Each structure stands twice: as structure tokens, then as C-alpha cells.
Amino acid sequence: MAVITGIEVIRGRVVVQADGATIARLPVAHFEKCPLHEGDEIDPELWLENVAEVQRADAYEAALTQLDRSERTEKQLSDALRRKGYVAPAIEATVARLTSAGLIDDARYARRMAEAHAAKAVGVYSFKRKLMARGISADDAGDALACFDDAQQRDACRAAARGLWRKYESLPPREARAKLSQALARRGFGWDVIEATIDDFTE
């Protein structure tokens, strides 16, 4: 059990604290259906489940609105719902329902994203970090990266180098080589691909 130690409205959300820790930031309308008062003793998990029951339908509609705008990963959608004040049990139920219906599919999202980026001057490591930041699992990311093979990366690295070389071509050869290498590494290319590429520009 825990004691409610704070209830405060901040930017349209009711911030609820139990034993000094924030347990929820939810819309006023949802809080009013599961009200609490400072000093109340509650089971936080049970109270959050009750809030989730109140939020469940709204959370699902809010998620569909997000998906109408663009495809989302589980993490992106969960983060968006959390920012809107939905509690974890409501978010988890919504994500599970959408996943079961095929409306969220992280593996599909990763493949589509990889296909779109394969034609760009993007390094595989940079792209993998982007996938992981969006909550894509290591397995799904690995499967999606199949189109970033050695030949694709060589072509992408050369394309990136062409765009960067004009910034460095007036520098002494050693300095130009170093700066071009560093710029390509920041774009996520591997050192073996970088070394083969910069030879074309600095020999």
C-alpha cells in the first residue's frame, strides 16, 4: 500500500504522487472518474488498473489518430500516448490490440524504412542507431539491414564523399583525408568502406 502525498494540476494534467513518487500524469477528466485525496492509502497498481479501464477506449482512438498520420513503432506510439496522459496499463492494452490487428508491426516498419534509406547516402551504423532509437529490436533491425550489403554501402559512401569532398579538397592531402574519413564515420559508414572510398578522392 502507498499513501497519496501530492495531487497537483500542471498544464492540464493531474500529477499524482504516492509516497513522494509520481505514479501518474493524467487528464483532469480521467482523474475525476478515479478521484483521490492527499492522505488516501491505496494500492497503486490497482488504482492504475482502474484508471486504465476509464482510459481504454480513448487510448485506442488516440492511437488510431496517431497511426492515421504516419506508421509508428510500438515505442513511438507508447511514448505518444504517455505524453497525452494515458497510464501504462491502458497503453499496453492498446498496443497489444493494435499489434494483434496488424496495425503495428515493428519488423514491417523496419523493412520499409530500410528500403527507403537504401538508396540514400547513409551508413549502415547510423541507420541501425536510428532504428534502435525508434524502439526496433536488435533482431528486427538485423533483418531489415539485409539490404545494406557491401556493394550498397560502397556506393552510398562514394555518394556521401562526393558531397563532402568540396569542403576539404583545398586542404593539405593528409588533413583532407582525415577530415573526410571523420565526416564519413559520423554518417555511420564502416572504416573498411571509408578507407576504400577516400583513396578515390585523395590519391
> Helix, strand, or coil here: 87?
coil
According to DSSP, residue 174 is labeled H
pTM: 0.80
Q: In order of start, what are the domains of the chain with their CATH numbers?
A: 2-100 (1.10.10), 105-203 (no CATH)
Check if the beta carbon of residue 48 is closer than 8 Å to that of residue 89.
Answer: yes
- pLDDT tens digits for the chain (203 residues)? 999 999 999 998 999 999 999 999 999 999 999 999 999 999 999 999 999 999 999 999 999 999 999 999 999 999 999 999 999 999 999 999 999 999 999 999 999 989 888 888 889 898 999 999 999 998 999 899 888 888 889 999 999 998 888 888 888 888 888 999 999 999 999 998 998 888 777 65
Check if the beta carbon of residue 123 is closer than 8 Å to that of residue 190.
Answer: yes
Q: Single out the residue of 52, 61, 105, 59 nearest to residue 78, CA to CA.
A: 59
Burial degree of 192 (CB within 10 A; 0-12, 13-18, 19+): exposed
